[in-house]
Chains A and B, each alone.
Chain A
Amino acid sequence: MAWHVSILTALATGCIYSVMAVGVVLIYRTSRVLAFHVGEIGMLTAYILVSVWVPGGGFLNLGAAVIAAFGIAALSGVVMYVLVERIGGRLGHFVGTVITIAATIALNGLMGLVWAAQTWRMPLFPGTIGFFGVNLSIQNLAVILIGSAALVGIVVLIRHTSLGIDMQAIANNPALARLRGISVQKTLCAAWMMGSLLAALSGVMIASVSVVSVEGAVIGVSAIVAALIGGMTNVGFAIVGAFLLAGCETLVTLFGEPRFSQVIPVLGLLLLLVMRPTGLASRSENIMRV
């Protein structure tokens, strides 16, 4: 067993799950809505990218194709914000979650209609490089690099920018945030856009190491599981949850029974939630004051 290859694979998978899980947490913390549609946004972006990029038969170079695909992902974030917050917002968070489920179904249908459920390869970062006599996959390395940069960027944004601090304020107490003059709707819109962009990045990364396919949207489930392991309230713990999930899946596949690679992590999640209902974060949403 080439352990270095497997470690690299697990790390790359962890980065992919982390990026999407952080998007899920960001949306949940600000809107209290569980975003079930993130996997579909990821695959939609991958489909658009591969369609407009020259190697896939498109007409744009890579830079322009990335801008076009991620532009549409950001726009989809705005659309979801309008649907969930402006239209469905008055009906409560549960309705918001249902809207994201409806978006999942609609986006699946759209991808089936436009791309006829075709499977495409995304020839990003092909090949291997030698490192101390060991061949390492450039795809995995690129995913780790890009994913880590995105995660560092999002943590910096949340902690050190006025937008991030506004988001934290809304996450802690939306009514108080409004009273303090924070533009809640603008911040929520930004959170949905960022959630979509993170989902898009994760979708493109998973497509680059696998394929672009409608079924690839199942990555959204892994991201939600990772976010749940983390406790849904903390970006850092979502990242820890994502790496735990990826590590567990890889270990079961490599050393255990691959058929159970997706079942065992979920069983682990159930066990965790039984023992620690608030996830790794140990932080409850409702703080009772006496």
Chain B
Amino acid sequence: MTTMRFTLAAAAILFASTAMARAEAVKLGYLTDTSGPTQDISKPSLEGFNLYIDRINKAGGVNGRKIELDIRDTGIDTARAVATAQELVAGGAIAIIGLPLSTVQAGVYAAMERNNVPVIAGYPSNIGLVLPPAKANAFATGIVFDLAGYIGGELSRDAAPKGKTMVCTSFESPGGIVSCKGAVAAAKLKGFEIAEAVMFPIPTRDFRAIAERITALKPDVVLTVLGRSRTIAMVPALAAAGYEGAVVSMEAGTGDDAVREVAKAAPKIDMWSYTRFVSQGYGDGPQVAALEKAVKEAGIKEWISVHSGGWALGMLVEDVIKRCASPCTSEKFQSALEQTKMETGGLTGAPIQFTKDDHYGPTTFMLVHYDRASDKMVPLKGWRPYSSTLPKF
């Protein structure tokens, strides 16, 4: 009889503790594109995020609370992403994170605002809704095109110190348009006599004619806001069209491996890239070392900036949950987000900072140059600080 009572009591304790643990888990919805056209960018970001969250959960969670992820593939379909986000919230997710492409992000931000659910876009393609004055529930850790375009225009001067003509090229997405608009304005302020944007339709895959058009403008530097697949196609096309100046590639999921590959295919082009997050081969700090170790264990051949962006998003989630009293609700999560100041351990040049009005924070970018002799990307002048408030242009 005593044994039976003891067994029942043990079972009750076990059941209660399991139930408590379940109640304590913080559930997050993660939207991504693992089957569509941006999966080459989305997957590394998810890999970096998952590696960090796995590490946290294996160590017992955040203050004993496990992070429960519901990862959904929504491609780059805005309607599907919005419907899935609503489904995730109905299923108990207190925040939505991840999000591929700027077009998807706008819809999800708007839909989740009606639900009072915070959204953190971690991909390198956020739109300006997070800059001051930020939309109530919209947060971002990736790059913001409005800002990154402007910075690219400024950094073009470093790639062509005596240059007179700068061309920004991108495809006709909202991010591409605002990037080149900012880049042209910044380039003119930096002393370029001619600064032009050459935009092309989104479905374009054959860049020979576009490259010939750009080359005909005789630019000293070409700023590319293209992402991975278009960079791989565009730079050799520029070389074939006879261009021999500098190309500055915005690190928006391009990857240093792709930049090195195209640099080899275009030996007369001087390749540059600029980034908010470090990639394999440069940067140091405790989190860079931790990421390096984790990707090695996971068998990833080379980690790129979107891996470190995903890892930093994981760090942010951990940091916010630490400050979100149990039970962590959407309101508490958002309130904690708005008081964020998190060191990234070398992944970025400045802490990730959010306030009530600024959901992106001051940022830093690093200009990196392809060194042909060593076949490596070499940082130039280290991190450069930028405000999250865009200049008027």
Residues of A within 8 A of B (CB): 1-2, 5-6, 9-10, 12-13, 109, 112-113, 116-121, 123, 126, 128, 135, 137, 139-140, 206, 209-211, 213-216, 218-219, 221, 249-250, 253-254, 258-263
Contact = CB atoms under 8 A, between A and B. Distances in A.
Interface residues of B, number: 35
A151 to B, nearest CB: 19
Given A116-B43, A117-B37, A210-B233, A254 B205 contact: no
Contacts of A126: 265
B207 interface: yes
B216 A258 contact: no
B35 A109 contact: yes
B240 A128 contact: yes
A9 B208 contact: yes
Given A5-B241, A119-B228, A119-B233, A218 B207 contact: no
Interface stretch (B83-91, B102-110, B194-202, B302-310): B194-202
Contact of A119 (B200, B209, B232): B232
B335 interface: no
A120 B212 CA distance: 22
Interface in B258-291: 261, 265
Contact of A261 (B200, B237, B265): B200
Interface in B178-221: 198-201, 203-210, 212-213, 215-216
Contacts of B232: 119-121, 211
The 4 tightest CB contacts between A and B, nearest first, are: A119-B229, A253-B209, A211-B233, A210-B206
Q: Report whether over half of chain B's contact residues are helix, strand or loop; otherwise say mixed.
A: helix
B245 interface: no
With a 10 A CB-CB cut-off, give which of A5, A139, A261 has the most chain B CB atoms. A5
A249 B37 contact: no
B35 A112 contact: yes
29 contacts: A2-B216, A6-B209, A6-B212, A13-B206, A112-B39, A113-B35, A117-B38, A119-B228, A119-B229, A119-B233, A121-B261, A123-B265, A137-B240, A139-B240, A206-B205, A210-B207, A213-B233, A214-B37, A215-B203, A249-B209, A253-B210, A253-B212, A253-B213, A258-B201, A259-B172, A259-B200, A260-B201, A261-B209, A262-B204
Contacts of B237: 209-210
Contact of A254 (B201, B203, B213, B240): B213
Which among B36, B206, B229 has the highest number of chain A CB atoms within 10 Å? Answer: B206
B242 interface: yes
B37 A218 contact: no
Interface of B: 35-40, 43, 172, 198-201, 203-210, 212-213, 215-216, 228-229, 232-233, 236-237, 240-242, 261, 265
Contacts of A128: 240
A218 B200 CA distance: 15
A69 B319 CA distance: 51
A21 to B, nearest CB: 16
A250 B216 CA distance: 14
A258 B37 CA distance: 23
Given A6-B209, A211-B232, 4 more contacts: A13-B209, A209-B208, A210-B237, A261-B200
Given A137-B240, A215-B229, A262-B204, A5 B212 contact: yes
B265 A218 contact: no
Nearest to B75: A112
A259 B170 CA distance: 10
Contacts of A119: 40, 228-229, 232-233
A1 B216 CA distance: 5
Contacts of B216: 1-2, 254
B236 A121 contact: yes
A257 to B, nearest CB: 9
A218 B203 contact: yes
Contacts of A113: 35
A135 to B, nearest CB: 7
Nearest to A9: B208
A261 B202 CA distance: 11
Contact of B209 (A218, A221, A250, A260): A250
Contact of B205 (A109, A118, A123, A215): A215
A218 B242 CA distance: 27
A1 B211 CA distance: 11
A210 B205 contact: yes
B88 to A, nearest CB: 23
Contacts of A213: 205, 229, 233
Given A119-B233, A215-B203, A9 B209 contact: yes
B39 A116 contact: yes
A13 B210 CA distance: 13
Contact of A258 (B200, B228, B236, B265): B200
Contacts of B209: 6, 9-10, 13, 249-250, 253-254, 258, 261
A210 to B, nearest CB: 5
A137 B212 CA distance: 12
Given A211-B232, A254-B216, A206 B36 contact: no
A197 to B, nearest CB: 21
B37 A211 contact: no
Contacts of A123: 265
Given A206-B206, A215-B203, A218-B205, A258 B40 contact: no
